[in-house]
Amino acid sequence: MNLLAADVGGTKSLLMLARDRHGRLEFNHLTRFESQDYPDFESMARQFLAQCHTAPEHLQGACLAVAGPVEGEAGGRRRARLTNLPWELDSEHLGRALGIPAVALINDFEGIAHSLPVLADSALATLQHGEADPAGPRLLVGAGTGLGVCTICPGQELLPGEGGHSGFAPTDAQQMRLWQFVVREAGRCTREHLLSGRGLARIAAYLQTEDHAPGPALAEAMVREDPAAALCRFALQDSDPLARDTLRLFVRIYGAQTGDLALAVLPTGGVYLAGGIAPRILPLLQNGDFMAAFVNKAPMGHLLTRFPVKVITDPNAGLLGAARHVHRLVKNG
CATH of the domain at 20: 3.30.420.40
Judge if 62 and 207 occupy the same domain.
Answer: no
3-state secondary structure at position 88:
strand
Short-list 266, 322, 306, 286, CA closest to 136: 266
User: Do 166 and 104 belong together in one domain?
Assistant: no
Residue 298's domain spans which residues? 121-313
Quick one: 305 and 320 in the same domain? no
- State phi, psi for 8 to the nearest 5 degrees: -105, 115
d(CA 61, CA 171): 47
Instruction: Give the global pTM.
Output: 0.89
DSSP state at residue 99: T
Taking every pair of C-alpha atoms in the chain, what is the biggest distance, in angstroms?
A: 62
Report strand pairing: 147-152 vs 138-143: antiparallel
146 with 110, same domain: the answer is: no
pLDDT tens per residue across span 79-122? 998 877 889 999 999 999 999 999 999 988 889 999 998 899 99
- For 167, which DSSP code? B
The residues that bridge with 107 in the sheet, in sequence order, are 66
Beta carbons of 167 and 31 less than 8 angstroms apart: no
Shared domain check, 164 and 258: yes
Q: Report pLDDT digits (tens) over 14-58.
A: 999 999 888 789 999 999 999 999 999 999 999 999 999 988 888
Nearest to 253 by CA among 164, 127, 185: 164
Closest CA to 247 of 219, 286, 216: 286
Radius of gyration of the CA atoms of the chain, in A: 20
Residue pair 286/125 in contact (Cβ under 8 Å)? The answer is: yes
How many domains, in total, are found in the chain? 2
Instruction: Check whether residue 277 and residue 206 sit in a common domain.
Output: yes
Residues 105 and 173 reside in one and the same domain: no
> Residue 73 has what pLDDT?
79
Long-range contacts of 181-187, Cβ-Cβ distance < 8 Å, separation of 24 or more: 181/205, 181/206, 181/209, 182/206
Question: What are the residues facing 125 on neighbouring strands?
Answer: 311
200 and 300 fall within a common domain: yes
Phi and psi at 162, nearest 5°, equal -120, 40
Task: Sort 187 into a burial class: Cβ within 10 Å, 0-12 / 13-18 / 19+.
Answer: exposed
Residues 148 and 285 both lie in one domain: yes
**Predicted local distance difference test score (pLDDT) of residue 280:** 96
- CATH code of the domain containing 231: 3.40.367.20
Q: Are residues 170 and 57 in the same domain?
A: no
Distance CA 331, CA 333 (A): 5
Nearest to 169 by CA among 275, 277, 264, 56: 264
As a whole number of angstroms, the distance between CA 300 and CA 114 comes to: 30
- Do 32 and 97 share a domain, yes or no? yes
Q: Which residues of the chain have pLDDT under 50?
A: none
The pLDDT value given to residue 160: 83
Task: Please check whether residues 320 and 297 belong to one and the same domain.
Answer: no
